[in-house]
Chains A and B, each alone.
Chain A
Amino acid sequence: MKQSKKGFRRFGIGFILSWSLVPIYWVINTSFQTDAQISDTPAHLFPPTPGWANYKALLIGDGELPSMVRRATINIFIECISATIITVVLASLAAYAFARMEFKGRKFFLFVVVMTMAFPTYTTLIPMYRIMAMVHLVNTYLGIILCYVSGFLPLATWILFSYMQSLPLAIEEAGSVDGASRMQIFRLIVLPLTMPAIASTAVITFLFAWAQFIFPLVLASDQSTQPLTVIVAAIQGRHVVPYSLLSTAGVIALSVPAVIALLTNRFIVSGLINGSVK
Chain B
Amino acid sequence: MKRKTDFLPYALISPLIIFIVLLALTPAVFTTIAAFFKVQPLNPPTHFSGLENFRDILHNTNVISSLGNTFYYIIIGVTLSTVLGIYFAVILQRRFTGRSILIAVLILPWALPGVVEGILWTGIWDANTGVLNSILKSLHLITHYQVFLGQNKLITILAIEVVQVWQITPLSTILVLAVLQNIPDDLYEAATIDGSDGRKAFRHITLPLIRPGIAIAVVQAIIATLNIFDQPYILNGAASTGNSLAMETYAVSFQNLNFGQGYALSLLITLFTLFVSVVVAKFIYKKVEY
Question: Which residue on chain B has the smallest CB distance to residue A243?
Answer: B129
The 8 Å CB contact of B12, one of A42, A96, A278, is A96
| B77 is an interface residue with CB less than 8 A from chain A | no
1/0 contact string of A31-44 vs chain B (CB within 8 Å) = 00000001101110
Are B15 and A127 in contact, CB atoms less than 8 angstroms apart? no
Complex: how many Å from CA A24 to CA B15? 39
Interface string of B97-127 (1 = CB under 8 A from A): 0101011111111111111111111111010
Q: In whole angstroms, what is the CA distance A144 to B263 when docked?
A: 21
Judge whether A42 and B134 touch: CB under 8 Å. Answer: yes
Q: Are A126 and B259 in contact, with the CB atoms below 8 A?
A: yes
Residues of A near B234 (CB, < 8 A) are 233, 236
**B113 close to A210 (CB less than 8 A):** yes
Residue in B87, B104, B112 whose beta carbon sits within 8 Å of that of A257 in the complex: B112
Contacts of A234-261 to chain B: CB distance below 8 A = 236-237, 243, 246-247, 249-250, 253-254, 257-258, 260-261
For B26, give its contact among A127, A212, A272, A278 (CB under 8 Å): A127
Given contacts A16-B88, A97-B13, contact A27 B23 (CB under 8 A): no
> Which residues of chain B from 189 to 238 have a CB within 8 Å of any chain A CB?
197-198, 216, 220, 223, 226-227, 229-230, 233-234, 237
Q: How far is B13's CA from A90's CA once the two chains are assembled, in angstroms? A: 8
Contact of A39 among B16, B129, B198, B226 (CB under 8 A): B129
Q: In this complex, what residue of B is CB-closest to A27?
A: B120
Whether A146 touches B178, Cβ cut-off 8 Å, given contacts A211-B112, A261-B111, A262-B104, is no
Which of A50-58, A115-123, A169-177, A191-199 lies at the binding interface? A115-123
Instruction: Out of A17, A43, A120, name the residue touching B227 (CB < 8 Å).
Output: A120
Pick from A41, A126, A254: contact of B137, CB under 8 Å: A41
Which single residue of chain B is at the shortest CB-CB distance from A125?
Answer: B266
Judge if A13 is at the interface, Cβ distance under 8 Å.
yes
- A258 in contact with B123 (CB, 8 Å): no
Q: Are A243 and B126 neighbours in the complex by a CB distance under 8 Å?
A: yes
Give the docked Cα–Cα distance between A277 and B234 (Å): 32
B174 within 8 A of A: yes
CB distance from B28 to the nearest CB of A (A): 5
User: What is the minimal beta-carbon distance from B276 to any residue of chain A, in angstroms?
Assistant: 11
Q: Is the CB of A122 within 8 A of B105?
A: no
With a cutoff of 8 Å between Cβ atoms, the chain A residues found around residue B119 in the complex are: 27, 232, 236, 246-247, 249-250
Residue in A43, A254, A273 whose CB lies within 8 Å of B178: A273
For B, the interface residue count at a CB cutoff of 8 angstroms equals: 94
A123 touches B270 (CB 8 A): yes
What are the residues of chain A within 8 A of B123 when measuring CB–CB? Answer: 23, 26-27, 30, 243, 247
Among A19, A147, A207, the one with the most B-chain Cβ atoms within 10 Å of its Cβ is: A19
Residues of A within 8 A of B9 (CB): 97, 101, 103, 106
**A126 neighbours in B (Cβ, 8 Å):** 27, 31, 249, 253, 259, 262-263, 266
Q: Are A258's CB and B108's CB within 8 A?
A: yes
Residue A81 at the chain B interface, CB threshold 8 Å: no
Residues of B within 8 A of A67 (CB): none
A97-B12 contact in complex given A154-B20, A232-B119, A236-B234, C-beta closer than 8 Å:
yes
What 1/0 flags go to B23-62 for Cβ under 8 Å of A?
Answer: 1111110110010000000000000000000000000000
A9 & B91 in contact (Cβ 8 Å cutoff) = yes
- CB of A150 within 8 A of CB of B24, answer yes
B40 CB to closest chain A CB (Å) equals 13
**A218 in contact (CB, < 8 A):** yes
Say whether B128 faces chain A, with CB atoms less than 8 Å apart.
yes
Please, which residues of chain A bring their CB within 8 A of the CB of B6? 101, 103
Contact A128 B27, beta carbon cutoff 8 Å: yes
The answer to whether A233 touches B233 (Cβ under 8 A) is: yes
Q: Which of A17, A120, A212 contacts B270 (CB 8 A)?
A: A120
Q: In the docked arrangement, what's the CA distance between A101 and B247, Å? A: 44
**Which of B91, B129, B233 gathers the greatest number of chain A CB atoms within 10 Å?**
B129
B25-A116 in contact (CB<8A): yes
Residue with the highest number of chain A CB atoms closer than 10 Å, among B25, B28, B105: B105
Complex contact B103–A150 (CB within 8 A): no
The docked-state distance in angstroms from the alpha carbon of A9 to that of B121 is 27
**5 residue pairs bridging A and B, Cβ less than 8 Å apart:** A23-B124, A39-B128, A127-B28, A218-B254, A262-B108
Leading 7 A-B pairs by shortest Cβ distance = A150-B23, A12-B91, A127-B27, A261-B111, A250-B119, A97-B12, A211-B113
Beyond A98-B13, A123-B270, A157-B16, 11 additional pairs, beta carbon < 8 A: A12-B87, A94-B13, A118-B273, A126-B27, A211-B111, A213-B113, A254-B116, A258-B111, A268-B111, A272-B174, A276-B220
